[in-house]
A and B are shown apart, each in its own frame.
Chain A
Amino acid sequence: MSAAAVPNLRDLYLSESGQIRARYQESGDGMAAVRERAALVDSIAQQLYSTFIAHEPGSAEGFCLAALGGFGRKVLFPGSDVDLLFLTADGRTEQQYKPGIASLCREMWDLRMRVSPATRSLAECGRLYRDNLEFNVSLLDCRYLAGDPQLFARLHDVVVPQLVVRERQALVQNLAELTRTRHTKYGQTIFHLEPNVKEGPGGLRDYNVACWLALISALEKRQPRPPAGLLAQELREDCLRAFDFLCAVRCFLHYRQGRDDNALSYELQAEAAAAGVGAKANRALEPAEWMRLYFRQARIIDRAATQFLDDVEGARSSLYHAFDDWRSRLSNADFQVSHGRILLRQSTAMEDASTALSLFEFVARHGLKISRDAEHRIEKALPLLRQRLPGLPRFWDRLRTILTLRYAADALRGLHRTGLLTILLPEFHFIDALVIRDYYHRYTVDEHSFIAIENLHRLRQAEEPRFAEILAETERPELLFLTLLVHDIGKGMPAENHIVGSLQVLDPILARLELDADAADTVRFLVANHLEMSVALSRRDIFDPETVRALAAKIGTPERMKMLCLLTYTDIKSVNPEALTPWKAEMLWQLYAETINHMNRSLDEERLHPGQLPVARAHPETTGDELKEFLAGFPKRYLLTHSAAEITQHLRMAEALAEAPVQLSVEKRSHHYELTLVTTDRPMLFATIAGTLAAWGMNIVKADAYCNQAAVVLDTFHFTDLFRTFELNPTEIERFQNNLLSVLSGELSLAALMAGRAKPGGMRPAKVTIQPRLTFDDHSSSHSTLLELVAQDRPGLLYHVSSKLAKQGCNIEVALIDTEGQKAIDVFYLTVGGAKLDAARQKALAEALLQDI
């Protein structure tokens, strides 16, 4: 029989298809379109069944036609395959109906439908096909079309459920494996410049996976089947809305392309936006705004699928079980760890703001995922958390902890996903799913910030050793992480540029966090200047001394330079996976190294003059004149590295010299002690202080020595208490200070002190051998000779070095002392008799120093 035997079928199909398309284009309702199309194909298939099969003898028994896959779910997209199952009671029946099956399929092909037929017996449907588990999965969506209803009922109500119960593990594992493979193919991210709305993470296939897993779970528990393709109980409304949106998009693509093409290309994004596909009332949107809508929906679907997948209990290897058991030991009073996910104990009050944050601290620490149930409990607690979280005391302490833990990005994504991040930082809403629509920015702005934090943490895994070392030297890395979180908020604001926008919202954020003034200044500075190095890389000659000088002047201090370099590194690296090429990383590092070297070598040149009045740094208690006089002659860096309060303290110490010739203070910091000493310059001063510290068993990690025009010396030493002398005996701090005063006044002999106190044997043997290195530089400063010294760090090293300098008649104009692991890195600006060191003096000094180090 031919199509002529089914009169007007072609006309019917074309006409109805056209009307479905017209209705879709009018309404934008993708769900309605796919349902109508499924109903149309139902009708066609049933008519053709009547024509080619139903007339056969005995056709009422032992044979039926069913819909599978998307067709079975009544979700048939314009370009999708039509999956048919010709079900027979046994193998003999199949032969009888072969001609009819062939005719039916041929007719559907002639109608331009892509038919995907399968012929199976009932027994065959009950088998697990390990090399074709997709067929078994497609049976989950089977739907009666025509033929023997009892036969179909046995498939739908008995055979398939029995298969699921018996082979649940294999089915679920297979689905999980297929999904993971697919996600890996798409880079484990929903963020693509041209996403695939069907196969990509967060796409329609992920929705199907979530539905199948829920269905398998229901069948296993002998619960009623949910409506095909819908999971009203399992998935939230926003997931169903996201599915509706994706249906509309896929319909748009199929109609536009005339085939099963699911790639949302750059050009098609603009068309979809202009047509308002999936938008409220089909309102036309700008392409970037429309893609923001897309990513918000994809994120919802991705989350649902991920949660269902994470619930999968596979027959994993015993090795995995052993690892899993180990992770369960991380459980605590509030959180239980099971199968790599965090569950809330019954008693855990998610409504408590502190507990809610503790959960994400737990995620940041261990990198574990939050279970579906735990996320539901957070959602239920949201109304109360909205009231309680903003007032959380010591919020910065909690946020700092999260930011600096290894899996901070995972925790932040969790906070964002559950809505808690925008409660804590309402400003973050500006960049929620915000798209920067060009071929360079792959991620939405919020995701870019999370990835940047992730990349900064990855540096610690020694991905890029040079930059990893810079991170290790950074004094307050938490400020860097905070900057990464907020630096691009301005992109979502109507400001003249995103830096201005970010700075506008920054002050309220910093105020809520109650950061100290220096920290707030640093974050402000980093946000304001986070593009400086990128601009220098792309638009300036980084080997031009003027470029370096200008950058150094703008950045000011080595500490800020380090932070800005890391900020630039991670910012570029997080734009897209290829953005930070080795070429660019090399340029960045060279610019950083040149600028840091310039900062350290030009200290002497850039001094404060009496005419300069640092009004901004003046403390209300000081007068302009006394401050000017005190500051005159100090390097400009002094102003940049000390707060107004510190400068005032130093000024007061200088004023008190009239009463006591040496003023000093010792203060405890978070990881070290800080000795500040103000006195008039004298020979052997620096060496004496260093020696006294060494005699007390203190390890100097950093030191600065400056001298002003009035020959007032300001020395700052950061040291660690190797033997915990001060920690265990706080009264020893005062005794140390008295000791130092006595040594400086000559009442006590330093040599005797050093002979009688702790020996350097307390240090562990060096793990790394540092070759000593001395470099003299007569060009960087017009007044002094720079000596750069690198040596194996040990207690007393600085004393020995500075003693040698003094014995050789050198005056230390400026000293910059630093330690990097077991490496001492010291820079001295030296003069002899007010002039640079001549060649002979340099040679003698080098020989003397090398003997010691």
Chain B
Amino acid sequence: MTKIEAIIQPSKFEAVKEGLQEIGVEGMTVTDVRGHGRQKGHTEVYRGREYTVDLVPKVKIEMVVPDDLVERAIQAIVGSAKTGKIGDGKIFVSHIDDAIRIRNDERGQGAL
């Protein structure tokens, strides 16, 4: 089992969600987050006051999928979230040792 964590533009969330559902990924956890990459943002001025646009709003999607679905899930995310511009986001992939369904103690891939 593999955990995929994707940080994307909020405006791309619906498209990414649909793309994942199309390939059979149903379960996911979605969080509103803020962050920045290497660019670290910039300073703007509004009516004489500076405000820093450094932590930019993003959406983080987390899901755990069977290993044989990982590549397709990544492609679904990239395909929907990509604009080619700075700020498109990132995907992180990590191995999961186990998964347990709380309701009935089911373990392993069946618990997904």
Contacts and interface: CB of A to CB of B under 8 A. Distances in A.
Nearest to B45: A775
B53 interface: yes
A586 interface: yes
A773 B57 CA distance: 29
Interface residues of B, number: 20
A707 interface: no
Interface string A533-566: 0000111111110000000000000000000000
A770 B48 CA distance: 10
Contacts of A823: 47-48
Contacts of B9: 541
B34 A586 contact: yes
Contacts of A594: 44
Contacts of A137: none
Nearest to A581: B32
Interface string B39-54: 0000011111001010
A775 B47 CA distance: 11
Contacts of B13: 538
A543 B87 contact: yes
A587 B48 contact: no
Contacts of A818: 47
Interface residues of A, number: 27
A583 B48 contact: no
A597 B44 contact: yes
A583 B11 contact: no
A424 to B, nearest CB: 38
B10 A538 contact: yes
Given A538-B11, A543-B53, A820 B47 contact: yes
Contacts of B46: 593, 596-597
B91 to A, nearest CB: 18
Contact of B11 (A541, A581, A773, A775): A541
A603 to B, nearest CB: 16
Nearest to B49: A790
Given A583-B32, A583-B57, A586-B57, A541 B47 contact: no
B32 A790 contact: no
B17 to A, nearest CB: 12
A539 B32 contact: no
B14 interface: yes
Contacts of B34: 583, 586
Contact of B47 (A539, A584, A790): A790
A590 interface: yes
A593 B11 contact: no
B75 interface: no
A584 B51 contact: no
Interface string A569-594: 00000000000010110110010011
Interface in B53-76: 53, 56-57
Given A538-B13, A581-B32, 13 more contacts: A538-B14, A539-B11, A539-B14, A544-B85, A583-B32, A584-B32, A586-B57, A593-B44, A593-B46, A593-B51, A597-B45, A788-B48, A825-B47
23 contacts: A537-B10, A538-B13, A539-B11, A540-B11, A541-B9, A541-B11, A541-B87, A542-B57, A544-B85, A584-B32, A586-B34, A586-B57, A587-B10, A590-B51, A590-B57, A593-B51, A597-B46, A773-B48, A788-B48, A818-B47, A823-B47, A825-B47, A825-B48
Interface of B: 9-11, 13-14, 32-34, 44-48, 51, 53, 56-57, 83, 85, 87
